[in-house]
Homo-oligomer: A and B are copies of this chain.
Amino acid sequence: MASRNFRELLESRWELGNFLCVGLDSELSRIPESARKGTIRETLFNFNRGIIDATHRFVCAFKPNSAFYEAHGEEGLLALSDTVNYIHEVAPNVPFILDAKRADIGNTNNGYVEAIFDRLGVDAVTLHPYLGKEALMPFLKRSEKGIIILCKTSNPGAGEFQDLETGGKPLYLTVAEHVAKEWNANGNCGLVVGATYPEDLKKVRAIAGDMPMLIPGIGEQGGDLEKTVSAGRDSRGRGMIISASRSVIFASSGKDYAEEARKKATELDGVIRSAL
């Protein structure tokens, strides 16, 4: 594990034509009865194991959102750790992004770096840009990890600040420009751009070169997959981590949840491959 490098792992998945990322947003109340076990830790992990087994062969990454685990305190934290360990075991070539949306000032970030990279052992993390590059240096200097900055988020109200004009361009493009030109000295940065804004995705791609983009918002949020691929691919036809969460992992609430997740993920994968 010492030699894992997020960008290298990602490129090797892209090389295979894999661009789908499965979001392990494992909300306890939506987990099927058939996947439940004695403890919350066991239930969350058991459910995730079913999804991972069913999809790891053709995804480019897994992405749990930390909130769904933190909601359950230490049991949730242990389930997250069990999940990371399981991916390392059965799918050691699949990178693992913790969607944690963190960002504090300078030294305080050391605590998050320790928790997320060194303790949990994930390959990449999502961060808020608001505090600036100087604050995020404890993350940015970890060149082997992926540092994925929120740029244009997928939610309906994303534009409240992100679309404000800043020196002739919207804030989200200024963020993209700073990250591409000033934050990426170690070649480890990426950007989050929602599939719900394909026109904006295209503008970000024009600024960001071949930087990896994490693109949530397909599936339940309604982003159009073909438009996303058309707007999001880089000059090499790569560069995309297209994330689907609830539409895949909760495709069925029955015993067949893993099989239905595989079918839904296969369907999305097919649409992406034919749109490339």
Contacts and interface: CB of A to CB of B under 8 A. Distances in A.
Interface of A: 25, 27, 65-74, 77-78, 81, 99, 101-106, 108-112, 114-115, 119, 128-135, 150, 153-162, 164-167, 171, 174-175, 178
A103 B105 contact: no
State the oligomeric state as a number of copies.
2
Nearest to A65: B108
B178 A174 contact: no
A7 B81 CA distance: 37
Given A111-B71, A129-B130, A132-B162, A102 B105 contact: no
Nearest to A105: B155
B160 A178 contact: yes
Nearest to A172: B130
Nearest to A101: B104
B67 A154 contact: no
Given A72-B115, A101-B128, 9 more contacts: A67-B110, A101-B104, A106-B155, A130-B130, A130-B153, A131-B155, A132-B155, A132-B158, A132-B162
A157 B171 contact: no
Contacts of A157: 131-135
Contacts of A77: 73-74, 77
Contacts of A104: 65, 67, 99, 101
A71 B111 CA distance: 5
A162 B166 CA distance: 11
A20 B12 CA distance: 53
Contacts of A130: 128-130, 150, 153, 161-162
B155 A166 contact: no
Contact of A155 (B71, B99, B135): B135
Contacts of A71: 110-112, 114-115, 119
B165 A112 contact: no
Contact of A132 (B81, B119, B161): B161
Contacts of A106: 155
A200 to B, nearest CB: 15
B156 A134 contact: yes
Given A106-B155, A160-B134, A112 B70 contact: yes
B135 A73 contact: no
Nearest to A81: B73
Sort A-B residue pairs by CB-CB distance and give the 7 closest, nearest first: A134-B157, A67-B111, A132-B160, A74-B74, A71-B111, A132-B157, A105-B155
